[in-house]
Amino acid sequence: MDETGLYILLGFIGLLAAIAAVGGWWWRIEARKVEVARNWPTAEATVESGTLEPIADSSSRAPIVLPVFAFSYEVDENYYSGRFALSHINADADQIIQRVIGRKLQIRYNPSSPVTWFIPDEEIEGCRVEQKMGPHLVGLYPRD
């Protein structure tokens, strides 16, 4: 390999290292958001409704259909709402929807902005909770 080829190779390796560093930095920032949210105050939320919705899966072109739930909660006499999905479903989705509607959940909310919430449960009914917060939750949450 001549000197030019070596420089090209080193530049390419440097570029890959920079991309990996940025990715790691982003991952850590997102993971930190979850760590902070786990210490927010709690509120009791009620699952108000559920339906099957197509969710864009970042790993494939075709949307997948998941049960999506809407819930509400109260903070300082003000009502807020949110939505989450369940994935890795191991039973009939319609049955899961019926079992989850009306359920009470403990959510965490940002005390400086109660509209921002986090569901600390990783699973409900044996299914993975998909929400907007955290690097491991990026792909399968419902769009508002």
Q: What is the mean pLDDT of residues 40-56?
A: 92
Q: How far apart are CA 107 and CA 6, in angstroms?
A: 54
Residue 40's pLDDT is: 94
Q: What is the pTM of this model?
A: 0.72
Write down the residue that tokens 């899966």 correspond to: 57
Q: What angle do CA 62, 133, 114 make, to 5 degrees?
A: 130
How confident is residue 60, by pLDDT bands cut at 50, 70 and 90?
low
Mean pLDDT (the chain, rounded) = 84
Three-class SS state of 119: coil
Measured between alpha carbons, how far is residue 69 from residues 16, 21, 47, 112, 140 in Å?
40, 36, 7, 25, 13
Give dist(CA 137, CA 123) in Å, integer. 12
pLDDT per residue over 95-142, tens digit each? Answer: 999 999 999 999 999 999 999 898 988 889 889 898 876 544 444 455
